[in-house]
Structure 1
């Protein structure tokens, strides 16, 4: 009876994990992307578990995780078919005998038609003006620069849009003013 109780307590002392997997592949027509989503929970945390993803025959670097792998999505071109292979190797089931180490095969079809970009070319009209011929005389050519074209000079090209925002400058200025005001209050309270 004592041996049975000891074996039962050993069996109950081993960790119980549900090894919950969420592996999906779909085509998001609204975003026009093929999406692979992987989320793994309740895996053992005493050692590293391994997640390996193969996309269209190209194996990506393995990802080690303990306990859980937070749900992550990867986006791909939706104009072509994709084949995904998601392999999970649980440290406590290296040969897959318990069903915790497993491989999922998922795929997406091309769900967005490729529309080649259209190029349009616009031709601006050109005007040429010719100056009247000067009579052939002994006058030397003028050394003054030519006058600008009627209507003023050519406009400057617009500045490049770099995506930088002036908001950080404004916020840092407000922060500096606030820090100065706080320092002033501290100094005045000490004097009082």
Structure 2
């Protein structure tokens, strides 16, 4: 009798243990990871294990508003390591996992959604801007200027090389009156001379 009871306990325990072992992988759905600085760069590590073996689970990772890892399908496990990410800015990584065996109507929700963040890893001050070299000026074409020769009032020499006499200055006296005066003087002189000769002969 005791052996039968003991056997029943062994069978029951074995069945319960087997059920637990079979159920654990299906319900574990573990997800872990981290984001941190690696020198001046940022890195991200994500590890998914113990999901349903069928390759119908999906994962997508965002870096802020940018897609870092596009949607991928995976089976029991999935791992990603992103290195060399820009360390001059802070990052906010979001990991969104959809398990195909999730059944919310039966309170089976194996989906995962978690966030990792990093601070600015590269705090090296920016280099000062170098002054730009001056832009060489293009040579300007010479500007042509026309020099006007001033007009001269000098009368060009007459043909033959002789220079014409300058005109007499105007004195205001009429040439006719000068001629008559000259004739009068000549006549007076002649009359005086004739009078003196007659006086000597008398």
TM-score, normalising length: structure 1: 0.48
Counting helix residues as a fraction of each chain, which structure ranks higher?
2
TM-score of the pair, normalised by structure 2? 0.46
Decide which structure has the larger Cα Rg and report it.
Answer: 2
